Amino acid sequence: MKIPFRRFIFMCSISLLLAGLAACAVDAPTPPVTNPTSAPGEILSTASSTRDNPVPATESPTKDAGVLPTATPLSPTSTPQKATPQPKPSPTALALRTVPIEGGDPGNMFFAELVFPDAKTFTSSLWFRVYAHKPIESKVDGEGIEKVEFSILNSEGVVVHYRTEQTAGYCAFSGGEPDCLIWNFAEQQYKWPDGGKIVSGAYTMNVLVTSKDDVVMFLNDVSFNIQVP
């Protein structure tokens, strides 16, 4: 069927018009976003709108909203304190017994005294020391003294030990520079210096002090006990 020429021209014009409108619609620019809070006529770009109005972050889909996170224990920050060492207790001072030596001429006395451990019974060791000087006002041990004699007697009155000392300090078992020798029973195999056996029982100590001008002072019957295995 033949189409009249005028109608053909009209249809071609309509087709070209529609094609032009479609092309314009594709190339049309995106209208600018207007900030409602800006002044009239102020234009914001799309990037600026996104920066000023950020989209809230979406919560991670792996997080369980019904389970609370486990708290991680904190490591201690303080340094453990070292124990302060305690001082060792000082050894208890040995109690001593002092007995004045006053026997002799009351008008010619000088200073003399016997010192030994304050114990009623000795079980392991024994020692005696004499301090003496003449005149009394002197502060030097041994000044003006010729000799000191020690005698230990058992319960039967028998002398089991005798010693003469001529140099201060005056000790019953020697020594004295500066300390007296301690007579240890076990170390001496439970024997006196002369070899006699040390046995348990009551004993007495006698002391005789002679000055260089032959004045004598003495002390008798200082009692003590010995207990050995």
- Whole-model pTM: value is 0.60
pLDDT in tens, 10-25: 666 666 666 655 554 5
Q: What's the confidence (pLDDT) of residue 75?
A: 52
**Is the predicted pLDDT of residue 200 greater than 50, yes or no?**
yes
Percent of the chain with pLDDT over 70: 59
Residue 229 contacts residue 199 (beta carbons within 8 Å): no
Q: Is 163 exposed, middle or buried (0-12, 13-18, 19+ CB in 10 A)?
A: middle
Q: What's the confidence (pLDDT) of residue 176?
A: 86
Q: Is 228 exposed, middle or buried (0-12, 13-18, 19+ CB in 10 A)?
A: middle
- What SS3 class is residue 166? coil
pLDDT in tens, 39-71: 444 444 444 444 444 444 445 444 444 444 555
- Cα–Cα distance between 117 and 225 in angstroms, integer? 12
Q: What's the confidence (pLDDT) of residue 155?
A: 96
20-24, 54-58, 121-125, 178-182: segment of lowest average pLDDT: 54-58
